[in-house]
Structure 1
C-alpha cells in the first residue's frame, strides 16, 4: 500500500530525530510579512506555504539553521521542511508536508497503519494516546507516545492531518525528563496551529 510506504518514511523522521543534539544557537531567520485576514496576527507567528499554515513556536525556541537540519535530519528527501528547537536542544517542533495523498476521511486508516508500524520499529514505544482531535476547527490524528533513542527516553506528541490533499505531520517532542517543564509551552504551540484551505 502506497500510503503505508510514505507514512513509514515520515515516521522515521518525526520519531527518531527529535531531541538530544546540542548544536550551536541558530541564526535568526525572518518570516514573510504579508497581510492575511486569518490566522490572527502575532509578531512571533511563523507562516509557510503562502500563509496557509502557521503556528507560534514556544518562547525561546529558534528555527534550526540549514547546518543543524542537515546534521539532525541527514535524509534530506524525508526531512521536515521546518523545525524549531529549544536552546538546550532537548525539545523540538517539526513540520513536514509530504506528497503522499491523504484526505481527512483516511485518518482512521492512517492511525492503524502508523500504530502497527511504530509498534514493530520504534524501540521502547509506549502509547499514551491515539485518537482524533480538533485543532482550530480542523480534524487531526493525535498519536502520543514515549520511546527510547540511543541516549535517552523521548516524549513524542505527533499530529497528522490532510492539507490540500497531502499529508501534513507535526511533532512536538522533548526528552522525558524535560517534558513536564515544556508541556504547557508545547501544547500552546500545538493549539496555535492554523491550517487554511
Structure 2
C-alpha cells in the first residue's frame, strides 16, 4: 500500500511532456534524454538505500545513468557559494570512497549562480561519474545530480551536459 501511494505521489509530482520535465508546484523544468523515464520508488530505494534518496529521479532503463533532482529544506539563499563549495569538498573528501575531483566551480545558469561539482568515485558495485548542481530556490536548496556509471558516462555525457543547459527557473 505504501509503495502504491508513493508511486501515485511520484506520478502526480512530475509531468513529463515529450522530454521536458516539470518539477511539481514550481516553474522549474529541464529536458532529459529521450529514453529517460521516472524511476519507480522501489528502484529509488534500491539505488539510494541509506535513506537519503532524492525526491525525483529519471533515468535509463537500467538506472545506470540517472538525473536526480529535488528541493531540500536548507535555505542557502544568503550563503557564500565559495564557502559552500569548500564545505562540500571537505565533506565529500571524508565521506565519498575514491573521490577524484574533475571540476568545482560557480556557474551562471538560467539567471542564477549555481555551485557546480563534478567528480568520480567508487560505489559498491560500480565506479561513478557525478555532476552535481546546487542553487537556492526561495528558502530551499535546489539540487540536480547527473549520475552515471563510468562505463555508461561516455555514451550519455553529451546528452547529460545538454540537459544541464536546459534547466529553467522562474524569474
Equivalent residue of 1:186, what SS? helix
Equivalent residue of 1:150, what SS? coil
Partner of 1:143: 117
CA deviation map 1:96-135 (0-9, x unaligned): 2111111164322210100001011111000000001111
Cα separation, 2, equivalents of 1:156 and 1:95? 13
Partner of 2:19: 44
C-alpha displacement of 1:75: 4.6
1:188 lines up with 2:162 in the alignment = yes
- Checking the alignment, whether the CA contact within 8 Å between 2:133 and 2:144 is kept in structure 1 is yes
Partner of 2:3: none
Partner of 2:151: 177
Output the aligned Cα RMSD. 2.2
Equivalent residue of 1:100, what SS? coil
Higher strand share: 2
Q: What pairs up with 1:23-172 in 2 under 5 angstroms?
A: 29=11, 31-32=14-15, 43-76=18-51, 78-103=52-77, 105-172=79-146
C-alpha displacement of 1:57: 1.2
Q: Give TM-score, length-normalised by structure 1.
A: 0.75
Structure 1 stretches of 4+ moved >6 Å: none
- Checking the alignment, whether the CA contact within 8 Å between 2:39 and 2:63 is kept in structure 1 is no
Q: Give TM-score, length-normalised by structure 2.
A: 0.85
Question: Structure 1 unaligned runs (5+)?
Answer: 1-25, 34-41
Question: Structure 2 unaligned runs (5+)?
Answer: 1-6
C-alpha displacement of 1:32: 4.5
- Checking the alignment, whether the CA contact within 8 Å between 1:133 and 1:139 is kept in structure 2 is yes
